[in-house]
Amino acid sequence: MKFALFTHVPWPEGTDPQRVFEETIVEFEYAEELGFHSAWMAEHHFSRYGLGSSSMVLAAAIAQRTKTIRLGSAVLLPSIQNPVRLAEDTATVDLLSGGRLDVGLGRGTNGYEFTGFNVPWEESQGRYREGVAMIKGLWSNQEFSFEGEYFSADRLSLVPPPVQKPHPPLYLAATLTQATLEFVSTMGHPLMIGVVLDTVNAVELCQRFVSMSQNAGHDIPMSSIPFFRYFWVAETEEQARKDAAEGLNWTLDMLQWRRTFTNGSEVYHRLDDWRSTRTEAPVTAEYLMENRAIVGTPEQCVAKIKDLQRQGIEYFGCNFSFGGMEHSRLIKSMKLFAEEVMLHFS
């Protein structure tokens, strides 16, 4: 079993973004000290949901303060960004980290992120597919040419080239759309699983991907799929659920609130004002704790991870940093996880 850290780099009202970045870097440093295999960060734009709008800049900073832990993007979005720039940025971080970068690419979700980049959602599938081809081609060839509907290249040479050959490990996201899963399953790279699906559905998606990739002529084992869940461990179940509820409620509210914007964003509005006027309640924190999270005592967490392991999951990612969890409590939970959970899987 490999263990990973994951964060959206959340930015709740009243918190300083510079401090959020510094605490995130410290969490990644501590993950390396505790023996985590990798640490991943999301890309989001125009929202307090996540500060990772320039996640490769953040990864470069983390690379300078770590030595062994692998660093991952979960995920970069070629559907709204120039894939040439993404190839350059990822190759640069691969160099700065000494070949420790894992690259996750995804299609993204509809909403003001696409509007902000002036990209029609209807183009997202084609841009994702062409972006993946462009990035892989630029990484892997001294000169690369490509002609697509949205992107093109004429004998481009990537500078700098990545350290890892033929290119950094690549992971591809698919969640709800069958066409995306069909594309990902043909590419010969592992799927990656975010925190947005219920665990039962996420495991079933992994199984479908493995079967579909085999049918496409690839041997991608389920054990290679990073499987991320909201995660919190404490000395008692009561304390774990109390701690987690606060951050999960913020996350649920933010997810619901930001979906109401097709342009603009919620950044300079007050969450409490929106809470007082909304007409539809989100799913509850209790629902997330039962279906998209692992929350509890060390013994409970061990049992739940072992259940996932029996179903084929061998690469488990912990999202401790949800909803602006207080830094010292987060560090304490990470320490408890390393001391009383991880050892059962060594």
Tokens of 279: 């007409």
The tens digit of pLDDT for each residue in 321-338 reads 999 999 999 999 999 999
Strand order across the 191-192 sheet: 191-192, 170-173, 101-105, 70-76, 38-41, 2-7, 315-321, 227-233, 293-296
pLDDT of residue 262: 85
Give the residues across from 192 on adjacent strands: 173
Domain harbouring 69, CATH code: 3.20.20.30
pLDDT of residue 144: 98
pLDDT in 10s for each residue of the chain, 346 residues: 999 999 999 999 999 999 999 999 999 999 999 999 999 999 999 999 999 999 999 999 999 999 999 999 999 999 999 999 999 999 999 999 999 999 999 999 888 899 999 999 999 999 999 999 999 999 999 999 999 999 999 999 999 999 999 999 999 999 999 999 999 999 999 999 999 999 999 999 999 999 999 999 999 999 999 999 999 999 999 999 999 999 999 999 999 999 999 889 999 999 999 999 999 988 999 999 999 999 999 999 999 999 999 999 999 999 999 999 999 999 999 999 999 999 999 8
3-class state of residue 36 by DSSP: coil
The tens digit of pLDDT for each residue in 125-158 reads 999 999 999 999 999 999 999 999 999 999 999 9
Q: 166: cis peptide before it, omega within 30°?
A: yes
**Size (the chain), residues:** 346
Its pTM surpasses 0.75? yes
Integer Cα distance of 60 and 55 in angstroms: 9
DSSP calls for 114-142: HHHTT--GGGHHHHHHHHHHHHHHHHH-S
Tokens of 321: 């940093």
Split into its structural domains, the chain has a count of 1
State the Cα angle at 226 between 300 and 234, rounded to 5°.
25
Bridging pattern class, strands 152-156 and 191-192: unpaired
CA torsion sign for 172, 253, 204, 28 is: positive
Phi, psi dihedral angles at 196 (to 5 degrees): -85, -15
C-alpha distances out from residue 43 to 186, 275, 278, Å: 24, 25, 27
Q: How far does CA 326 lie from the centroid of its chain? A: 20
pLDDT of residue 120: 96
DSSP single-letter state for residue 80: T
- Is there a contact between 288 and 282 (Cβ–Cβ < 8 Å)? no
Tokens of 7: 């964060």
Q: What is the H or E stretch that residue 249 is in? A: helix 237-258
pLDDT of residue 263: 86
pLDDT of residue 225: 98
Residue 27 belongs to domain spanning: 2-345
Q: What is the H or E stretch that residue 248 is in? A: helix 237-258
